[in-house]
Structure 1
Amino acid sequence: MPKRVALPAEPMLVPLDARATPSQSRARNTFEAVLSTAGELLGEVGFERLSTNLVCERAGITPPALYRYFPNKYAILGELARRLMEAQDEAVFAWVQSGGLQAANLEEAVEKNQEMQRQVNEITRNSPGGVWIMRALRAVPLLRDIRIASRDQVAAQISARLTTAYPDVPEVELFRSARLTTEMMYAATEMVLEEPTEDEDRINEDVCWMVAMHYRRLAERYGAS
């Protein structure tokens, strides 16, 4: 299991947004080079040792070129985090639109959830610094709102779709359940990526059974058919 290192206290009111979104080709290349390089470095040196100077040295750019777009390393991490969450969310939304929440029985529900979980795992695995970004989203207070906003957006879509399948369950309960199950599947992705020796298929299957059984129990609690 990877060793977890306590993160240092963070300064207050640190800007998390990029200063500008480049429009010209050369500027866009610099912008993307900063992000991809930071993602690579996260996997090599971790969050604590990541610095804008390291990014500049590896990317072959000057500090003024980096600071034109990113005021600090938190802004770089914030952009990487938003991109990762947006990519995950888009996959989930597409899955919902294609009928991912519709299942005739528990086994089908588990299979459909596994399909989505595999997609999310792969998106995270292929994103710059993916696993480190997921860790930072939990551990770094400045970044937590990005993860929470993503979770709640996904939960809102899922719970809205489930009102038809579970008409007897109060909407507030469906939303709470959608938030809970989204957190569970997020944690399973973390486990898979942080511990690559584990059986990914088994972890996916187990968490998807947990999710499916949770909704069955919720329906039974409110007398839904």
Structure 2
Amino acid sequence: MARNTATKAASPSLDTKSRPSRRRGLDTFEIILTTAGELLAEVGFERLTTNLVCQRAGLTPPALYRYFPNKYALLKELAHRLMDAQDKAVLAWIEAGGTQSSTLEESVAKNRDLQKQINAITRAFPGGDWILRALRALPVLQEVQTASRDSVAATLFEILRADNPGIDENRLRTATRLTTQMAYAATEMVLEEPDQDEDQINEEICWMVALYYDHLTSGGAPRKG
């Protein structure tokens, strides 16, 4: 019992301690996060420290600790922001009819456009590639990506279920989670292995997804035309 209590006490807090409401506090909050993202891109998450962030931002440690108890809380906030930016792009794509297509080629093209958007958003985000590594490597942060995946998958599920009455809902629910995870993995590959052919990776993942859903929604029969 004592050992379990000690383990829980040793676990770092990942929650932002407070969120500012006044302009000065908001500016400091954003400076901390921007600086953390820039440093993350330079040194990686293992070498990132709150002291480095304070030195680069010209802030005292108490100014940072007012909002973030440790570097993991910084990483979590940055991860939430990156996932939110990605999710907004996906939801906008869905709203614009991204899931609607009359041919496999059209489906692949629409998925390719989305994949390029997600890659670009992640690449432009300060420390984006390192945030993806942190999400995968640190168990304490994995729930951030899991929540994002499940939210996007749930939206896809509702759209596709409405468009395909009679479909096996358990299979569809699993499919939306799998394909969303596959898309994340393709983005990780593109950003973490810059020597790879990004266009080819995008093309292959989009064909995989399009063929998978074509098979699923047609009940296994090939699409005609």
TM-score by shorter chain over 0.5: yes
TM-score, normalization by structure 2: 0.91
- Alpha-carbon distance in structure 1 between the residues aligned to 2:40 and 2:14: 18
Give the Cα separation in 2 of the matches to 1:14 and 1:224. 52
Structure 1 residues 204, 224: CA separation in 2 closer, same or farther (over 3 Å shift)?
A: closer
Cα distance in structure 1, aligned partners of 2:195 and 2:222 = 40
Q: Which residue of 2 aligns with 1:7?
A: none
For 1:63 and 1:55, locate their aligned partners in 2 and report how far apart those are by CA, in whole Å: 9
User: Percent identity of the aligned residues?
Assistant: 58
- Which residue in 2 is equivalent to 1:97? 95
Partner of 2:30 in structure 1? 32
CA deviations 1:131-184 (Å, max 9, x no partner) are: 110111111011011100000000000011001333232212111101111111
Shift of 1:223: 6.1
Aligned to 1:87: 85
SS in 2 for 1:168: coil
Q: Deviations over 1:111-133 (max 9, x none)?
A: 00011111111111111210110
Counterpart of 1:111 in structure 2: which amino acid?
A: A
1:222 offset after TM fit, Å?
5.7
Q: Does 1:51 align with 2:38?
A: no
Question: Aligned letter for 1:45?
Answer: V
Structure-1-length-normalised TM-score: 0.91
Gaps of 5+ in 2: 1-7
In structure 1, the residue matched to 2:71 is 73
Give the secondary-structure state (helix, strand or coil) at the position aligned to 1:22.
coil
Deviation at 1:95, TM superposition (A): 0.6
RMSD (CA atoms): 1.7
Larger Rg: 2
**Number of equivalences:** 216
Identify unmatched segments of 5+ residues in structure 1. 1-9
CA distance in 1, matches of 2:153, 2:118: 15
- Quote the Cα distance in structure 1 between the aligned partners of 2:208 and 2:9: 39
